[in-house]
Structure formats: structure tokens, C-alpha cells
Amino acid sequence: MLLMHKVFLKILFLIPVIGYANDPFEEINREVWTFNEGVDNRIARPVAEFYDDVVPKSIQSSITNFFSNLDEIDNSINQLLQGKPVAAGNDFARFLVNTTFGFLGFFDVASIMGLDEHDEDFGQTLGVWGVPTGPYLMLPFYGPSSPRDLVGRPISGVLSGTFSIEESDVRLSITALDALETRARLLDVESLIVGDKYTFIKNSYLQYSEFEVQDGEEIEDDFTDDMDDFLLDD
């Protein structure tokens, strides 16, 4: 989603001044990272680049909106579990508005109406409840993760709109398109990666996870505020 893309960009600019060392399995993680990089270089990135070159930006934006809308129920439930009923109502209203007036979510009418977009999942809820992130993990094919997210992601997957689709071939096709769309959006930020790519991605992931759990409150500062104009131009 666009919100997550801009927040992740903001995190990338903070990485040079923030460090993390919670990586006791670094040797194994780096081996998995090398494997994932090979798969990405040979398959995922070329397909994403083709998608980005061929599909008009307006259609890409609509596809992004569609998948964001599928996550609104997950957002709403996790807002409630985190003790934020107003935000939960906002996110559920977004789902109703965009599904009804945004043609199943392909158009983000809710944002035009002033309903803010959020990004919540059960991993964040566990973090709000005090569950620690745990050691950094690099999973085959999936990428960066943690024990907390390993528990949270499947539950959020069940809460997403994709899970409710009964036809398995349709569900798998939508899931594949979601992965492709996500990979295509990451093409824009790859040029910002500096230094050791493994370390940069690890720190980005861990910092972004903390940012999400805290709703951005603990790492917002004058520097990140100054980045808003740049990100709005993205």
C-alpha cells in the first residue's frame, strides 16, 4: 500500500543512525539471504520489472488500492485488539466505502473523504501486548521475519479478504498478484540501499517493525518530519 511504502522509505533514511544486533542466527540467515537473492535475481525482479514497464501506473495504483482494501478487516480487528476503537471504526468505514463506492477497492474513495489509512496486523498487536520481537530470521522465499511475526502473519492472513475466497485457484492467483505488486513497489527503494545489503535490510525490517508497533511515536523527530515533503514527491 502507498502508506506502507512511504513509511518504509522514511525508515530507510533513519537506518544509518540506528543499529540493531539481535541476529544470533546470522550465519544461517546469510545463507538463506544468498538463496533468496538468487531467486529474486533470476525470477522475482525480472517479472516485477516487466510488470512495472508494461502495466500503466494508473492500473498499478488501482491494484495497490485493491489489495489495501482486502486488508482493512484485518486492520479493523487488530485496532480493536490494541484498544483503539476509533481507529477500528475508521478502518472498517474505509472498507465499506471503498468496497461500495470504490468498485471493490480499486479506487481509494475513503481517503478523499478524510478516512485515514492505517497498516495493522496481528504481529503488531502482539507487540502492543508486550510480546518481544525475538531474534531476526531470514526465511526462504519469504524474506525478513521474526518469531513474533511468524505467529502474527498467519492469523492476519486468515483475517484478510483473500482467505475468504473459496475457489483455491482464484485465491492463489490473487495471492501471486499481491506478491508481484509488492515486489514491483520495492523496485523504487532499492537504489536507496547502501553498504552491506543484508545488514541494511535487517535493520530496516527491525526498525520498521518497531515503528509499526509504536505507531511511529518513538522515532518521529524533526528529521523525519523534514522528510515528508520528499516522500510526497515520490
Residue 116 has pLDDT above 50, yes or no: yes
The predicted structure's pLDDT at residue 7: 46
* Average pLDDT of span 64-86: 96
pLDDT of residue 161: 73
State residue 4's pLDDT score.
Answer: 46
Spatial separation of the C-alpha atoms in residues 43 and 63, rounded to whole Å? 21
pLDDT at res. 228: 46
Q: pLDDT above 90 covers what percent of the chain?
A: 63
User: Amino acid letter at 31?
Assistant: E
The cell for 112 is: 478523499
Beta strands in the chain (DSSP E): 137-139, 143-145
Q: How do residues 127-143 score in pLDDT, each as one tens digit? A: 999 999 999 999 999 99
* Total structural domains within the chain: 1
Scan for cell 533468496, then name that residue: 36
| Residue 193 confidence class, pLDDT cut points 50, 70, 90 | confident
Who has greater pLDDT, 64 or 222?
Answer: 64
Grid coordinates of 40 = 529474486
pLDDT at 173: 85
Instruction: Identify the bridge partners of residue 144 per DSSP, sorted by sequence position.
Output: 138
Give, in degrees to the nearest 5, the angle at Cα 22 between 19 and 25.
130
- Indicate the range of 79-83, 174-178, 188-192, 198-202 predicted with least confidence: 188-192
Cell of 146: 521474526
Cα–Cα distance, 52 to 223 (Å, whole number)? 31
Residues spanned by the domain of 191: 2-232
Q: Average pLDDT, stretch 154-160?
A: 88
Give the separation between CA 217 and CA 210, rounded to whole angstroms.
10
More confidently predicted of 28 and 190: 28
- Please calculate the CA angle 216-219-224 and round it to the nearest 5 degrees: 90
C-alpha cell read off for 208: 520498521
Confidence at 231, pLDDT banded by 50, 70, 90: very low
Mean pLDDT taken over the chain: 85
pLDDT in tens, 170-187: 778 888 898 999 999 888
pTM over 0.85: no
Name the pLDDT band for 148 (thresholds 50, 70, 90).
very high
